[in-house]
């Protein structure tokens, strides 16, 4: 399990992972520079029934903030 000292560090790691996923799936040139746009896309596609098997759920769930 990966642990982080702050929520910001955990969030940064998760966004970096999502950016890598986007680059593999769609190409780096198509990735929005604003992380909120990537999140909005993710949420919209999830609402439409898209299942994100490519995103390793266990990796996301393993992110933990330590104090």
- 67 vs 58 pLDDT, higher one: 67
What is the per-residue pLDDT for 28? 85
Domain ranges of the chain: 3-65
For residue range 3-57, what is the model confidence (pLDDT) as tens digits? 777 878 877 887 788 788 888 888 888 887 777 777 777 777 777 766 654 444 4
CA distance 16 to 60: 12
What is the per-residue pLDDT for 56? 46
Q: Whole-model pTM?
A: 0.50
- Bridge partner residues of 4 (DSSP): 65
- Map residue 65 onto helix, strand or coil: strand
What is the per-residue pLDDT for 51? 60
């Amino acid at each position: 399990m990966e642990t982080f000292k702050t929520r910001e560090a955990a969030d940064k790691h998760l966004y970096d992972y999502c950016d890598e996923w986007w680059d593999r799936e769609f190409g780096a040139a198509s990735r929005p520079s604003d992380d909120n746009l990537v999140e909005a896309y993710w949420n919209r596609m999830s609402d439409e029934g898209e299942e994100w098997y490519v995103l390793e759920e266990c990796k996301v769930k393993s992110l933990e903030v330590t104090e």
